[in-house]
Amino acid sequence: MPAETYMSPERYARIRHFLSLRQPSLTLCLEQLDKPHNVSAIVRSCDAVGVYEVHAVWDNKPEIRKSTAMGSENWVYTKEHSCIENAVSHLKAQNMQVLVTNLSDNAVDFREIDYTQPTAIILGQEKYGATDEAVALASQDIIIPMVGMVQSLNVSVAAALILYEAQRQRQLAGMYNTQQLTEQACQKMLFEGGFPRLRELCDRQELAYPHINEFGHIEADESWWLQMQHSKPLQI
């Protein structure tokens, strides 16, 4: 059997394990962030606490810095929206409380929030913060209390602090003990992460992803494999 048709038992078990810990009801919404190292560091923190998908609104999409993200960009999806209104509407349609990091009279300490609820956190642009539109659409302003001369943290540091508070609360509530992702979502990431070359060919030809069985093997009919074998530059 060609090596491209299966992954090692160790890799399969590792992917399955982290998928069982993913938290689809916890996410970030990045509004007009434009510094690659910040976005890369945020994606890395998202992977570390089990965020499944990040949302983003930006005019100029920053490139992920692989040296900073350390490969986490391959395991955290990014869903782009045309504007913050569409992003928040999408999040609220999933019954998420939408928070925004914003220094205001109505802001509360980020640790006072119940992150066991479905939660999305808007993080604004590095220099100017969240837009007025984002603040108006959010359910609650949150702040990270500070006692120094500087009134804000680097956005990637702020993201990590908030995410780890969310992780702490969710761990205490046992939310990492039960798989939250659907099997369909797990199958998608198993194929994309376990067979990146075949995934590229599938996407190019708009083919459905095959099933990955409990041994980490691809299960596909003959016609699927024929299309793979006739695709270039696949070499198996």
- For the stretch 91-130, pLDDT in tens is 999 999 999 999 999 999 999 999 999 999 999 999 899 9
Which residues carry a binding-site annotation for S-adenosyl-L-methionine? Answer: 101, 144, 153
Which stretch of 10-19, 44-53, 77-86, 199-208 has the lowest confidence by average pLDDT? 199-208
From CA 206, how far away is CA 201, in angstroms rounded?
Answer: 8
From CA 161, how far away is CA 7, in angstroms rounded?
Answer: 35
Calculate ∠ Cα 167-73-126, nearest 5°.
75
Q: In which element (H, E) is residue 224 found?
A: helix 222-229
From CA 179, how far away is CA 20, in angstroms rounded?
Answer: 5
Confidence grade of residue 167 (pLDDT, cut at 50, 70, 90): very high
Q: What are the tens digits of pLDDT across the range 28-67? A: 999 999 999 999 999 999 999 999 999 999 987 776 655 4
**pTM, 2 dp:** 0.89
The pLDDT score that the predictor gives to residue 228 is 83
Which residues carry a binding-site annotation? Answer: 101, 144, 153
The one-letter code for the residue type at 185 is A
The pLDDT score that the predictor gives to residue 233 is 56
Q: What are the tens digits of pLDDT across the range 180-196? A: 999 999 999 999 999 98
DSSP state letters, 132-145? HHHHHHSSEEEE--
Confidence grade of residue 150 (pLDDT, cut at 50, 70, 90): confident
What average pLDDT does the segment 147-176 reach?
A: 94
What domains can be seen in the chain, in order of their start residue?
Answer: 3-10+181-229 (no CATH), 23-172 (3.40.1280.10)
Q: Which two tokens stand for residue 226?
A: 């024929």
Give Dmax over CA atoms of the chain in angstroms: 66
CB 4 within 8 A of CB 198: yes
